[in-house]
Amino acid sequence: MREIITDLDTGQEARKVDDVTTWQAIDLILTGLRASIGSDEDVQDDAGHLREIEKGANPFTVVLDDPAGNSFVEFVENMADPKWNLRTYTRTLKDEVDLGLVPESETADANEVDDDVMVFPGVCSSCRHSLETRMKKVSIPYFKVCHHCLALFL
């Protein structure tokens, strides 16, 4: 926790001059983090050893919005803890475009949905009765096939 405080505090004086809004936001986070761990005197015993911080004294929540996936939070306790919550990040189409993973020209195509259901006559592989196989065109992101391979399927 102290490393996080040190990292966030780095450059705060310059931020206070250059970008007051960012400085205020980071200062608010730093105030909360410092309150959650207490002062240096509260954390060290007489011999100078760090004592364990009382758990749950001042809980906080960390929310990361990182479409690029460059963030990581390591959980070192038991993941069965009912207070622990992990959610998998799902990028939006806007995130994909902003990151350069999808060209803007494809955003219009993504909004078009092909609702045509194709019907093919067939037979059941178990009992050999006739049946209809219904298929619908789907778009699978990042699944690309060259024109030669596509011709083999058609």
Q: Name the token pair of 7.
A: 């990292």
Q: Specify the pLDDT at position 107.
A: 61
Q: Specify the pLDDT at position 18.
A: 92
Instruction: Point out the residues of the chain with pLDDT beneath 50.
Output: 40-43, 53, 55-56
CA–CA dist 25, 32 (Å, integer):
11
pLDDT tens digit sequence for 20-29: 999 999 999 8
CA–CA dist 96, 141 (Å, integer):
11
Please state, in angstroms and as integers, the Cα–Cα distance from residue 79 to each residue in 58, 82, 85, 97, following that order. 20, 8, 9, 34
Q: Name the token pair of 29.
A: 């986070």
Q: Tell which residue, 71, 55, 51, has the closest CA to residue 63.
A: 71
CA–CA dist 17, 20 (Å, integer):
6
Q: Specify the pLDDT at position 41.
A: 46
Q: Specify the pLDDT at position 81.
A: 76
Please state, in angstroms and as integers, the Cα–Cα distance from residue 102 to each residue in 71, 96, 113, 138, following that order. 21, 6, 18, 17
Q: Specify the pLDDT at position 42.
A: 46
Q: Name the token pair of 14.
A: 């310059």
Q: Specify the pLDDT at position 102.
A: 80
Q: Specify the pLDDT at position 143.
A: 65
User: Do residues 99 and 68 make contact, with C-beta atoms less than 8 angstroms apart?
Assistant: yes
Please state, in angstroms and as integers, the Cα–Cα distance from residue 96 to each residue in 92, 109, 118, 143, following that order. 6, 14, 30, 15
Q: Specify the pLDDT at position 23.
A: 92
| Side chain identity at residue 104, one-letter code | E
Q: Tell which residue, 82, 91, 85, has the closest CA to residue 110.
A: 91
Q: Specify the pLDDT at position 152.
A: 64
pTM above 0.75, yes or no: no
